[in-house]
Structure 1
Amino acid sequence: MQGGGDRRAPPGSRVDALRLRAAPVRHPRAEGALPRRREVQGDRGARPRPQGALRDHRHRRRARALSRRRLGPRARVQHQPVPDAALRGQDRARDRGHEARHLRRAPPLPVRHAAVVVLAAVLFDLDGTLVNTLAVCYLAFRRALQRAGATPLSDAEIHALFGPSEDGMMRRVLPETWQSALPGYFEEYERLLPTCPTVIPELGAALALLRERRIPTGLVTGKSHVTAAMSLRHFGLDDAFDAVEPGSPEGVVKAPAIRRLLERWRLRPEDAVYVGDGASDMRAAHEAGVIAAGAAWAYGARVAELQEAQADLIFTDAAEFLAWLDGKTRRVTPG
């Protein structure tokens, strides 16, 4: 057809068939000819570019060129040569600081529903700690020696024998006749008990406080079964303790007794305290692994001996000990 008519090939012609069979032209990126932007950066399995080279190049470009904004738009850019080693050192220091910020341990979260108890058990000595019976002990032992025809001992000499129970002490002084002299001591002790003051008021309040707060309380004494029962009955302390551990004639057994009680109560030694007035008490506490608290408020207290035995705490006032015990056994729920 001539003129400006339709120049398209008629349907069914050879030209039309070729046009229909031609493949559509697609973008090179769709065919995989060009890598994606993320593949250049090393993602999706592509081989990443060396990180060290990227880092060095970035810092080299930033360190060598001065800022155009500072020099003005028409100023010539001056380059300052910076050694590559210095750039890498600065980068490593910056990386270490970055890691330190991210690896810094966060503070522990507060426990809001658990009660905190500092002391889980309190153990006491008897003579010179709960009751002021040392004078009676000295006098009864001296009179028993006199009744046996032996040479009397001074208070200091009798105190030096402390450790084993009274039968062990008597065995050391009278190796041959101790069995006949021991009943005389029991009689004198029971006769002199009414002359003793009552339980130290602050210590009575401490026992009541522990019972109210349901803190396990024990008595670990060097006395024999006989004199320990006499003392508890006389002072009205029969029901004041959850357990009573008397002494032994063989020597000091307070450390094993403390461990035995804590194992029975299933408590850790570091959560318990033993309160006593003697250096042997402090040594026993250290051996058992509990807190060693020296009681220096009663008659005949020896503060220097407690210090030499490395007592963890020394109280010269029973009221001070009561205040400390109140704070260490108070159940506090953190807010």
Structure 2
Amino acid sequence: MEAILFDFDGTLANTLPLIFHSFKALFKEFKNKEISSEDIVDMFGPTEVGIIHNHFTKDKEKAIRRFYELYKDKHPEFLHKTEEIEDLLKFLKEKDLKLGIVTGKGSQTLEISLDLLDIKNYFDVLISGDDTKIPKPDPEGIFKALDILKISPQKTIFIGDSDADIGAGQKADVYLTIGVNWISDYLQFNLKPDFIFKDVKEFRNLVEKELEMN
């Protein structure tokens, strides 16, 4: 085992409430339309910009700028640093593992969150939805990250909180595909990952055992 790749939203940070708030406010402001969190989940797949392009017929660029404003301005209110996650990242780096993020999130919102949470320095590679042509469960993002790291899928763990993540990891044929709901259990798994962890410590224990075996 040489690398661990993470999804971001719902895996490293509880961004879903912030995303829901930002899109609800945007639709209300620009379209005078009330939408639910479930409506927003149904839009997932493209980046935030892609969602706006798909659902707005006018003022798209203005709506995109406003979305970024909402996301950044409300970030401190909705998100706080999670000590358990940061301790995990420190532990993994101390073990000389390469770390990366493979997310469908757009590059700008990813940068906003990484900077405000102050965890960007832990990662060796960042692949956002802007860097891929096809979103997860297609494994394109995983392959791009591993190509940059020069590490094979068979020496990699991929971690996420959704079926799209599990599907991507399985299609990439990584060593282990792990589902987590240690931050949020909003999304449920229909696919079967190798493990499902509800606690960060459970995953840390697995890593320690794997490293002892290698």
What TM-score do you get using the length of structure 1 for normalisation? 0.59
Give the Å deviation of 1:176.
4.1
d(CA) in 2 for partners of 1:159, 1:194:
22
Once residues 133 and 155 of structure 2 are traced to their aligned partners in structure 1, the CA distance between those partners, rounded to angstroms, is 29
Q: Which amino acid aligns with 1:326?
A: E
User: Among residues 183, 193, 204, which one is paired with 2:75 in the alignment?
Assistant: 193
| Greater Cα radius of gyration, structure 1 or 2 | 1
Measure, in 2, the Cα distance between the counterparts of 1:187 and 1:165: 16
Distance 1:210 1:267 in 2: 16
Distance 2:62 2:27 in 1: 11
Aligned pairs for 1:281-300 within 5 A: 281-290=165-174, 291-300=176-185
Of Structure 1 and Structure 2, which has the larger fraction of its residues in helix? 2
Contact kept? 1:164, 1:250, Cα under 8 Å: no
Query: Is the 8 Å Cα contact of residues 296 and 315 (structure 1) preserved in structure 2?
Result: yes
Q: Distance in 2 between matches of 1:130 and 1:162?
A: 18
User: Over aligned residue pairs, what C-alpha RMSD do you find?
Assistant: 2.0
Cα deviation for residue 242 of structure 1 reads 0.4
Name the SS for the 1:218 alignment partner.
Answer: strand
**Is 1:323 equivalent to 2:208 in the alignment?**
no
Tell me the matched-pair count: 211
Q: Distance in 1 between matches of 2:185 and 2:24?
A: 16
Q: Which has the higher strand share?
A: 2
Match of 1:148 in 2: 30
Supply the distance in 1 between the matched residues of 2:185 and 2:64 (Cα, whole angstroms): 24
Residues 1:175 and 1:211: Cα distance change in structure 2 (over 3 Å): same
Q: Contact (CA 8 Å) 1:168, 1:251: kept in 2 or not?
A: no
Distance 1:240 1:168 in 2: 28
Percent identity of paired positions between Structure 1 and Structure 2: 26
Partner-residue secondary structure (3-state), 1:217: strand
Deviation for aligned residue 1:146: 1.3
Alignment of 1:73-222 (within 5 A): 119-222=1-104
For structure 2, the residue ranges without an aligned partner over 5 or more in a row are none
Give the Cα–Cα distance (whole angstroms) in 2 for the partners of residues 321 and 263 of structure 1: 25
Question: TM-score when scaled to structure 2?
Answer: 0.89
CA contact (8 A) 1:220 1:257 kept: yes
